Amino acid sequence: MNNILVFGASGQLGHCLKRVTENSGISNIVFPDESSANILNQQAINILFDEYKPAYCINCAAYTAVDKAEDNIDLARKINKDGAANLAKACKQYNTILIHISTDFVFEGNVPRLLNEEDPAKPLSVYGLTKLEGEQDIITFADKYYILRTSWLYSEFGNNFVKTMLRLGKEKDQLRIIADQIGTPTYGIDLAKAILQIIESGKTDYGIYHYSNEGVASWFDFTKAIFDLTDIITEVLPITTDQYPTPARRPAYSVMDKSKIKSTFDMSIPYWRDSLKDCIAALI
């Protein structure tokens, strides 16, 4: 296997990739620091591509502050759209396969059914819009790419919902959590393994794919499961989206159909509660 170059190595998924590759003994994967791997700097990107001549480029870099993006549209667009375009152009120039991480937030999520890759994207937020624009630029500028849409990402690394709930559960006697937004929590370690499985397959079935853990949950269900797996006894009360307004609108139902990625890569995907147990065990 030739070199794999990771952008956004200091983020949550970057750390998950490091953990999985260390445990798998994969040594030909490069995690440059942000100072040399700035996706907004085409020259810096080309310098890295010149040095490592990667067969694969994994883009984990993104502006993911969903609510802040509503007031920082230019920055969100630069990172999520222009940065993705810069990598796509470099990948085409160097004949590199791009693996790019996108999101379920590209969907409106107003219909309670599984969303497949062919369903029309209609984002409700600046974050979702700029991630969709990044997808579109990759399709325009790159020949060989995998766009992986994922949802509700968490792990033992970085800032995420699981770690926030564990902290709040120790600080609060009662929490009010949204129960009418439905999706699927996704363990970053599982997503990292899926990315490496795609690479190791050597297949060339390029395009958009959906990946999350199996199953369905609300944020309320997710929180209850987190507390059930720990000794936290904080009371959790279900509320509606209207009772907790946020600057950015979220999809009400964004459970994704994973049939395509499972059949193409003969991939088995863990159930979300089973993966949550693994993450909690790692954190504890």
253 HSE (CA, 13 A, CB side): 8
The pLDDT of residue 231 is 86
Catalytic residue numbers? 127
Residue 165: pLDDT over 80: yes
The superfamily in CATH containing domain 4-160+184-214+255-270 is NAD(P)-binding Rossmann-like Domain (3.40.50.720)
For the chain, what are the domain ranges? 4-160+184-214+255-270
Residue 89: pLDDT over 90: yes
Compute the average pLDDT of residues 137-147. Answer: 97
Tell if the pTM clears 0.85, that is, is over it. yes
Confidence of residue 24 (pLDDT cuts 50, 70, 90): confident
Can you tell me the distance from the alpha carbon of 266 to that of 260, in angstroms, rounded to the nearest whole number?
10
Calculate what percentage of the chain has a pLDDT beyond 70. 100
The pLDDT of residue 82 is 97
- Mind listing the pLDDT tens digit for each residue in 92-131? 999 999 999 999 999 999 989 999 999 999 999 999 999 9
Confidence of residue 29 (pLDDT cuts 50, 70, 90): very high
Compute the average pLDDT of residues 135-148. Answer: 97
Confidence of residue 34 (pLDDT cuts 50, 70, 90): confident
Compute the average pLDDT of residues 52-81. Answer: 96
Residue 1: pLDDT over 70: no
- Mind listing the pLDDT tens digit for each residue in 244-266? 999 999 999 999 999 999 999 99
- Mind listing the pLDDT tens digit for each residue in 170-220? 999 999 999 999 999 999 999 999 999 999 999 999 999 999 999 999 999
- Mind listing the pLDDT tens digit for each residue in 210-249? 999 999 999 999 999 999 999 899 999 999 999 999 999 9
Confidence of residue 284 (pLDDT cuts 50, 70, 90): confident
Beta bridge partners of 178: 239
The pLDDT of residue 170 is 93
